[in-house]
Amino acid sequence: MRRLVISAVVALVCAAPAAAQPQVGQLSFPTSGSVEAQQHFLRGVATLHSFGWKQAIEQFQLAQKADPGFALAYWGESLCYNHPLNSQMDATEPRAVLARLAADRASRLAKAPTDREKGFINAVEDLWGEGDSRQRRIAYMTAMERLYNQFPKDDEVKTFYALSILSAASAVDDRTARMNVKAGALAMDVFKRNPNHPGAVHYIIHSFDDPIHAPLALEAAKVYASIVPDVSHAVHMPTHIFIQHGMWNEVANQNVRAFNVGKGLWEPGDSPGDMAHSGDWGQYGFLQLGDYAGARERIEAFQWMADTTKNPRANSVLALGKARYIIETEEWKVQPVADGASNETILANGLSAVKTGATATADKMNALLAAKAKAAPGGDDMGGAHADHGGAPAPAAGAGDSGKSVRIMYRELSAQIALAKGDQDGAVALLKEAVQIEESMRPPNGAADPVKPSHEMLGEVLLAVGKPADAATVFEASLLRMPNRARSLMGAVRAHAAAGNKALAAERLATLNSFWKGKPFSNPTTEAR
């Protein structure tokens, strides 16, 4: 039987890596691998916990080279080719990795000398075995549960079991959050003993990544922000919690760091996924701060990403960044719109056309959104005219969210066109429909989607038509959904002041001024900006 590497060595390797090695957190994972293989294995596991796939694969393959019969080195690599929370879990590459260890399941198990190591191998055999993705994820969770029951005090068993629950929850569409809470409780137990464990802090964040539970993950998010500075996803992930607390400095600057880490690791042929996601959220943070120069710098970074990677996702983020900038800054600019333009690009151009009096362009953009709304999942047809503002009924709460954003954007642009034509009641009615649709979507837990929140636009229109008390109510609802969102705070200040609630107006103004870096906002009026 192979010699077990003691836990103290395991912790030391990850806690104090050599200068050339990335900082990836601290964990204890004794195995039967050789001393050299174990060092690479530990870095691989710690990086895997942070979804640093490319970096983890390199370490697991070095462990295999140092000790070709080390079963867990192949186990770890097999987990590096699929995102466990949002992919179809393509088994092709993982099966090929396991086949390098041995030809069949029984032979691979024979290379795992301890019950614990056999348990890990057995679990991935289920994950990469027969059946569809859903069946395999559930089977994997069941296998990890058996291993956890056998080794309930083992932190690595516990953290990987927590992740298996999160993966299965997405497979069964658990809308009760029961499975997420269970996974989070397991991860928090590890966090209490080892606050530098990369898997514990990471899975706490994923478990509680929703507006209701996000406060439970704030402590872990603050820790994770510092202990794994060399993995792009790890640098970005705490901002899933920060954004739900309206912590815009952290959202902006941490995502710049995450983008730059991803940029440093990117090679031709790689997906720009980490850069795209962190870049997207980072720009949103700068816009909420009123740091429009910082937001423009993010667009320049998106342009580099699109030009360099030649990847459709990079092009998509570039288009979103440009459209969001126009909508958030209200620097209205009518531009040519190419065929196949994104919904956000069409909305930004349509709103710019309304605000600058380009009526024909506004109508053209609205027709494009109408067609997209009708073609989206669930369909949409408001009857083709503003005379009947009843519109299509909003989908029931809990229905799939696909297609809802474009239906909201269609109503938003239609409302602005109606308002420009003097149809105040029609504009308000359309935006109330948009709000109803948005409230049927899952609560927001990231950058605004749709790019212009319907509550916020409704509040602005209510202010414009002389209904400040109603506007104040809607702005407060917007702030409950998206804490500290800048334009909702601005609207709340104006609405409360116009409605005579000076104290609440001052309170909202103080919140805005606590982070706002843009043009001073200190003289609320009754006019929508």
Structure tokens at 503: 């104290």
Q: Are residues 33 and 82 in the same domain?
A: yes
The confidence score (pLDDT) of residue 393 equals: 38
Give the whole-angstrom CA distance, residue 201 versus residue 217: 8
To the nearest 10°, report the CA torsion of 275, 342, 403, 401.
20
Q: Is residue 119 part of a domain?
A: yes
Domain boundary residue, one of 300, 331, 362 = 331
Q: At which residue do the structure tokens 């507006």 appear?
A: 211
Q: What CATH number corresponds to the domain at position 89? A: 1.25.40
Contact predicate 317/276, CB 8 Å: yes
Q: Is residue 408 part of a domain?
A: no
Q: Is residue 371 part of a domain?
A: no
Band (124; pLDDT cuts 50, 70, 90) = very high
Q: Could you tell me what percent of the chain has a pLDDT over 90?
A: 84
User: Cα 7 to the chain's mean position, in Å?
Assistant: 34
Read off the pLDDT of residues 427-472 as tens digits, 9 standing for 90 and up: 999 999 999 999 999 888 899 999 999 999 999 999 999 999 999 9
Read off the pLDDT of residues 133-157 as tens digits, 9 standing for 90 and up: 999 999 999 999 999 999 999 999 9
Q: Are residues 282 and 172 in the same domain?
A: no
Q: Are residues 69 and 175 in the same domain?
A: yes
Give the whole-angstrom CA distance, residue 385 versus residue 387: 6
The confidence score (pLDDT) of residue 476 equals: 98
Q: Is residue 407 part of a domain?
A: no
Q: Are residues 23 and 148 in the same domain?
A: yes
- What is the residue range of 254's domain? 244-331
Q: Are residues 467 and 527 in the same domain?
A: yes
Structure tokens at 345: 């690009």
Count of other CB atoms within 10 angstroms of residue 428: 21
Q: Which whole number is the average pLDDT over 17-35?
A: 82
User: Against a cut of 0.75, is the pTM above it?
Assistant: yes
Q: Are residues 136 and 220 in the same domain?
A: yes
Q: Are residues 55 and 108 in the same domain?
A: yes
Q: Is residue 504 part of a domain?
A: yes
Read off the pLDDT of residues 308-364 as tens digits, 9 standing for 90 and up: 999 999 999 999 999 999 999 999 999 999 999 999 999 999 999 999 999 999 999
Q: Are residues 71 and 95 in the same domain?
A: yes
Read off the pLDDT of residues 217-228 as tens digits, 9 standing for 90 and up: 999 999 998 999
Q: Which whole number is the average pLDDT over 389-404?
A: 50
The confidence score (pLDDT) of residue 267 equals: 92
Q: Is residue 424 part of a domain?
A: no
> CA-based angle 291:296:301, to the nearest 5?
125
Q: Is residue 401 part of a domain?
A: no
Q: Are residues 94 and 227 in the same domain?
A: yes
Structure tokens at 219: 């402590």
The confidence score (pLDDT) of residue 1 equals: 37
Please report how the helices 71-78 and 53-66 are oriented relative to each other, as an axis angle in degrees rounded to 10.
160
* Closest C-alpha to 37, from 16, 61, 21, 11: 61
Domain boundary residue, one of 220, 237, 254 = 237
Give the whole-angstrom CA distance, residue 497 versus residue 463: 11
Q: Are residues 133 and 272 in the same domain?
A: no
Residue type present at position 524: P
Q: Are residues 84 and 225 in the same domain?
A: yes
Q: Is residue 284 part of a domain?
A: yes
Domain total of the chain: 3
Domain boundary residue, one of 299, 331, 363 = 331
- Show Cβ contacts of residue 99 under 8 Å, excluding neighbours closer than 6 positions: none
DSSP state of 51: T
Q: Are residues 176 and 112 in the same domain?
A: yes
Band (387; pLDDT cuts 50, 70, 90) = very low
